[in-house]
């Protein structure tokens, strides 16, 4: 017996255009429009469905329930399966699967679930950043376009079996331009949302390949080369975090591409990370962060060293500041004006902050291209 959907709130959540987009992708054809209130659709097998035009209509839930029942019967699938496909017609659906044998099937301990969601978010955010610009490390301050993208991404229902988190990334439908000349049409550029999803799976595959090559070569070069494919320390850290939730460290990621914007060329759609690749990926993340400049890094700390021999154009100071949760010495070369301010902050034991490109230097760090140097007052310190 196939499950049926009777929850009116679930039925009301289905949007008319999503339903229509699904019918089009399945070969249904609109036969007529009924007084701006509904449209009649006919399948290749001569079945018909009436789709209400607006959710405000009084019989909307009833009509959607009837339409869903017809689709379930025609496709010989449960209404739940059809519903899930309709909801993802206009979105790329990303599945993140963690095997779990420590509790109920399809469930995770609450703390593990929180970490699973957080690391999934960081993984997708790294792909959004890579879709804008490829870097080995992304600083805390991410591009605004990447942060805006996250606001539109939704978490779907989890799926049973292993614990499966579903992420819906809405994608604008493809509208091909009208042919106005005999010249070949130029393929329209993918919208940012689709570029993020494609970058995500390109980078996941590149990470998997780099991990295996790095073991054979005992070298970081495969990971360094993979930066051009979207691999970063942020992505590697997220994958390591995801694996810590899985009881056997295996992580599987899949994507179902939005039907309203089909792919014009083949694309990786499934990647599996086995347990033996995770330590390599963790080490790659550490090395990335150690050797790659961290752009737009903000450091804050006390001035613990000053170069008393100031020149006309610069002066060196040393901060004791937190970097990745540990206290380190950070060298900064300042202008004469800011150097004088730093000397006063040193004498008065006040915290200073500065923004720049943070690079590893011996056991400490150097902040290059310093800017926004300032002294925090007592209230800001507390």
pLDDT for 292-336, tens place per residue? 888 888 999 999 998 755 555 688 999 999 887 789 999 999 998
pLDDT digits (tens, 9 = 90+) for 324-363: 778 999 999 999 899 999 999 999 999 999 999 998 888 8
Question: How far is CA 61 from each of CA 44, 52, 89, 364, rounded to the nearest angstrom?
Answer: 25, 9, 20, 64
Which among 163, 159, 153, 245 has a CA at the least distance from the CA of 200? 153
Using pLDDT thresholds of 50, 70 and 90, give the confidence band for residue 41. very high
User: SS3 of 171, please?
Assistant: coil
Residues 286 and 214 in one domain: yes
Residue 308, pLDDT score: 58
Q: What's the CA gap between 293 and 356, in Å, rounded?
A: 10
Domain boundary pick from 256, 291, 326:
291
Say which range, 11-20, 173-182, 207-216, 337-346, has the weakest mean pLDDT. 173-182
Same-domain check for residues 208 and 219? yes
Alpha-carbon gap, residue 57 to 45, rounded angstroms: 29
Q: Are residues 146 and 217 in the same domain?
A: yes
- Say how many domains are in the chain: 3
Helical ranges in 33-162 per DSSP H: 60-75, 79-87, 110-132, 144-152
Per the structure, the complete domain to which residue 66 belongs is given by 8-87
Nearest to 243 by CA among 109, 116, 126, 114: 116
- Angstrom distance (rounded) from CA 271 to CA 63: 40
pLDDT in tens, 100-144: 655 555 677 888 889 999 999 999 999 999 999 999 999 778 899
Residue 1 lies inside a defined structural domain of this protein: no
263 shares its domain with 138 = yes
Q: Could you tell me if residue 215 is left (phi over 0), alpha (psi between -120 and 50 degrees) or otherwise beta? A: alpha
Give the count of beta carbons closer than 10 Å to the beta carbon of residue 371: 10
Q: Which two tokens stand for residue 49?
A: 């469905």
> Are residues 300 and 279 part of one domain?
no
CA angle 24, 25, 27 (to 5 degrees): 65
Give yes or no: residues 368 and 264 share one domain: no
Could you tell me how many residues make up the chain? 382
């Amino acid at each position: 017996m196939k499950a049926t959907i009777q929850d009116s709130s679930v039925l009301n959540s289905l949007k008319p255009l999503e339903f229509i987009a699904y019918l089009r992708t399945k070969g249904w054809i609109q036969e007529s429009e009924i007084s701006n209130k509904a449209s009649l659709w006919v399948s290749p097998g001569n079945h018909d469905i009436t789709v209400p035009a607006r959710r405000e209509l009084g019989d909307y839930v009833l009509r959607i329930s009837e339409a869903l029942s017809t689709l379930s019967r025609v496709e010989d699938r449960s209404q739940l399966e059809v519903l899930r496909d309709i909801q993802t017609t206009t979105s790329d659906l990303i599945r993140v699967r963690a095997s779990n044998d420590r509790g109920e099937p399809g469930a995770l301990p609450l703390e593990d679930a929180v970490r699973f969601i957080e690391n999934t978010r960081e993984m997708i955010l790294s792909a959004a950043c890579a879709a804008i610009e490829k870097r080995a490390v992304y600083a805390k301050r991410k591009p605004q376009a990447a942060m805006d993208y996250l606001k539109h991404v939704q978490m779907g229902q989890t799926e049973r079996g292993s614990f499966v988190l579903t992420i819906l990334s809405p994608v604008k439908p493809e509208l091909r331009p009208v042919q106005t000349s005999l010249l070949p049409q130029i393929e329209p550029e993918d919208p940012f949302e689709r570029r993020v999803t494609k970058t995500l799976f390109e980078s996941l595959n590149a990470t998997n390949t780099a991990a295996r090559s790095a073991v054979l070569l005992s070298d970081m070069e495969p990971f360094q080369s993979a930066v051009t494919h979207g691999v970063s320390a942020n992505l590697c850290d997220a994958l390591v975090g995801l694996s810590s939730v899985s009881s056997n460290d295996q992580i599987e990621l899949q994507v179902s591409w939005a039907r309203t914007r089909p792919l014009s060329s083949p694309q990786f759609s499934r990647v599996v990370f086995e347990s033996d690749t995770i330590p390599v990926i963790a080490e790659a993340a550490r090395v990335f962060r150690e050797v790659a400049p961290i752009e737009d890094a903000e450091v804050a700390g006390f001035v613990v060293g000053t170069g008393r021999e100031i020149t006309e154009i610069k002066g060196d100071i040393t901060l004791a500041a937190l970097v990745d949760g540990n206290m380190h010495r950070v060298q900064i070369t300042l202008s004469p004006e800011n150097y004088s301010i730093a000397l006063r902050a040193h004498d008065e034991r006040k915290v200073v902050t500065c923004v720049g490109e943070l690079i590893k230097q011996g056991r400490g760090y150097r902040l290059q291209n310093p800017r926004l140097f300032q002294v925090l007052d007592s209230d800001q310190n507390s």
